[in-house]
Amino acid sequence: MKARRFTAVAVGAVAAAVGVVAVAVVVVGLIAVDVAVAVAVAVVVVVVVVAAAVCSLFCLCVCVCVCGFVCLSICLVVCLCVCLFVVCLVCSFVCRLFVCFCVGTNICLFVLFVFVTR
């Protein structure tokens, strides 16, 4: 009887230990995934912000030189959409994380198309 009780306690202790290890592995895995996702999102945000800043400066220079101040707003909208779309295409070959960025620029181009063709 004592042997059975000892065996049951031993099996229970081993099962508990395995359960604790499994939970620890899952928690560490989730933390690693969260960190990886956070880093990926941070990289995407930085690239998008830098791309937007570079495109803004580029478009401002181009539009002031080409249009002057007469059609500056339309020129800036067109130029920014096209510039960000080109950045998106380049980045999408490098990393698939830019899908949302591409969708955003495609929406931008669609709105621009509707605005121009009205």
**Interval 51-77: pLDDT, tens:** 778 877 888 888 888 777 677 777 877
Question: Which of 32-41, 78-87, 92-101: highest mean pLDDT?
Answer: 78-87
Percent of the chain at pLDDT above 90?
0
The confidence band for 12, taking pLDDT boundaries of 50, 70 and 90, is very low
Residues 63 and 53: their CA atoms lie apart, in Å, by 15
Q: Where are the domains of the chain?
A: 71-118
The pTM of the full predicted model, rounded to 2 decimals, is 0.49
